[in-house]
Amino acid sequence: MKEELLSIIEKNSRIDFSELAVLLGVTEEAVLEEISRLEKEGIICGYHTLINWEKTSIEKVTALIEVKVTPQRGRGFDNMAERIYNYPEVKAVYLISGGYDLLVILEEKTLKEIANFVSDKLSTLDSVLSTATHFILKKYKDHGTILNREVKDEREVITP
Amino acid sequence: MRNFLSQKVIDIKPSGIRKFFDIVSEMKDAISLGVGEPDFDTPWHIRDEGIYAFERGKTFYTSNAGLKELRSEISNYLKREQELQYNPDDEILVTVGGSEAIDIGLRAVINPGDEVIIPQPSYVSYEPCAVLADAKPVIINLKSENEFRLTPEELLNAITNKTKVLILPYPNNPTGAIMEKEDLEKIAKIVVEKDILVMSDEIYSALTYKGKHISIASLPGMKERTILINGFSKAYAMTGWRLGYACAPKDIIKQMTKIHQFAIMCAPTTSQYAAVEALKNGDDDVKMMCQAYNQRRRYLLNEFRQMGLDCFEPYGAFYVFPCIKEFGMTSEEFATRFLKEEKVAVVPGTAFGSCGEGFIRISYAYSLDNLKLAIGRLKNFVNRLRKNV
């Protein structure tokens, strides 16, 4: 049940327990129990909403920043990652294989704020060797969801 | 001027769903639950492989039997999914959908007057195909109390000394019924004793919700007397690609290939390349779609239970087949009124044989949101009917 439950609520976190129980073919109590266990174990980390901010009048700029750092003895990259992810404007931090080490996703109101963050906060950290900042121009698909797509049923209305 | 038309064709009744199709098409805001094909798009990696086939200029005929590579993948698939052993060289034929396989399979084995046993309710094309092949269709009226499974008694009653073929349509469209191993063993025993050929239409084999589908061809003594039909439409959401296949003993495949060669030449080349990708890397897609169908199936059955609408639990395909006898209407009346009053299209059970009277087919090849909307309307309709009675 675990995998199926997770894949349902990953797409729809608003679904209620009784409906989940029906879809999974189990009791409501079993669903409740499983979800609270998954929350406790930190497998379910939150229930977020996917928002297409481009459609609002609210200004937001998102940047992907490639960061090269010197790993620290005994602590690897974790310490550096922590120093970066503690900034609330940082939306995500990933350790990356290949040409650079950390990928930082940063969200701000203006381009200038991003520039300031990179020059004042990020680049000045001791272990940071270099950064490369990429601005997102348009989001086509996010969290597995294609944005701005109209779904139309192309099928013939009745077929045998 | 002379009447140029063939009497044999004139005598074939047009499909019972045509009338509904015309009414629904004219309604703007109608919801349809009448579709017999998946709502999913063909998985992108499969479509991409089709595009790639075009780019590489794979735009010519393939061999009559189909791409060697595809036949090998079909053979691998049947081995890994159903423990069946078919030789890709002479026991597998790639066809234009499962429908072509039904047609040419019957034509390859029927002599005029041979009897073909067709359990109903079932897919609409068995009976006309049998008639076109000059066979005499013998209908078995399946019963809801047996969950629309074929019982040994029903089969024995239908067999005569002219019986040549039994069509075995499971998992079943329109009922959603399946045949489990014990059911199949009883049928196989009779079929061997009476020396009958089975045409097993397993197009929905990937969509079962109570253990894995078992093919009758996998039972002892059955492979040599089975034409197994399957395809890509339902499992991989590839209806428009028109691709299916038949597996059978090589003497039967040889004759089927002859008809296929002269009537069709070969199945669409692009589709064949895409299908290779489907079989190689499509297992996860099938699993994902199957899981989604199962959730919808559970949703519908739960709603029917709460409405008090009589429906046996189907374990295959993507249909439920609730009973509407309590309303004192024919299936067609029910479906027509439901469409006119609530703007929801369902298919009357009688479209799949006269014993479908008293039932309607509801397809769950629709998103849950769609189904919820339609079920809301069904509740209104049922409540209204019950108040008036």
**Is A61's pLDDT higher than 90?**
yes
Contact B91, B108 (CB under 8 A): no
CATH of domain A2-40: 1.10.10
Q: Is A15 on the interface with B (CB under 8 A)?
A: no
B311 and B261 in a common domain: no
Average pLDDT of every residue of chain B: 96
CA dihedral B37, B41, B43, B49 (to 10 degrees): 100
Q: Is A115 on the interface with B (CB under 8 A)?
A: no
Assign domain A53-138 to a CATH class.
alpha beta
CB < 8 Å to A155, chain B = 35, 37, 39
Report how many Cβ contacts below 8 Å link chain A to chain B: 53
SS3 (DSSP) at B29: coil
Nearest CA-CA distance, residue B264 and chain A, Å: 23
B276 and B144 in a common domain: yes
Range(s) for CATH 3.30.70.920 in chain A? 53-138
Cβ contact, residue pair B34, A159, below 8 Å: yes
Cβ contact, residue pair B302, A22, below 8 Å: yes
The number of distinct structural domains making up chain B is: 2
| Entry pTM | 0.94
Residue B2 falls inside a structural domain: no
pLDDT over 90 percentage in chain B: 95
Cβ contact, residue pair B123, A160, below 8 Å: yes
Q: Which residue range(s) make up the domain with B359? A: 7-42+284-388
Which residues are CB-neighbours of B322 under 8 A, at least 6 positions away? B304, B309, B310, B311, B359, B360, B362
CB < 8 Å to B15, chain A = 160
Give the residue from B281, B314, B339 where a domain finishes. B281
How far is B185 from B202, CA to CA, in rounded Å? 16
SS3 (DSSP) at B339: helix
B194 and B329 in a common domain: no
Work out the average pLDDT over B175-201: 98
Nearest CA-CA distance, residue B224 and chain A, Å: 30
Residue B359 DSSP code: B
How far is A65 from A104, CA to CA, in rounded Å? 5
**Is B362's pLDDT higher than 70?**
yes
pLDDT band at residue A74 using 50, 70 and 90 as cut-offs: confident
Per-residue pLDDT, B377: 98
Helices (H), B249-282: 250-263, 269-281
Per-residue pLDDT, B389: 59
Neighbours of A57 (CB within 10 A): 5
Work out the average pLDDT over B380-389: 90
Residue B237 falls inside a structural domain: yes
Cβ contact, residue pair B345, A158, below 8 Å: yes
Among B24, B173, B294, beta carbon nearest to A157? B24
**Is A12's pLDDT higher than 90?**
yes
**Is B312's pLDDT higher than 90?**
yes
Prediction ipTM score: 0.87
Which strands form B226-231's sheet, in the order they lie side by side? B92-95, B244-247, B226-231, B197-201, B163-168, B115-120, B136-141
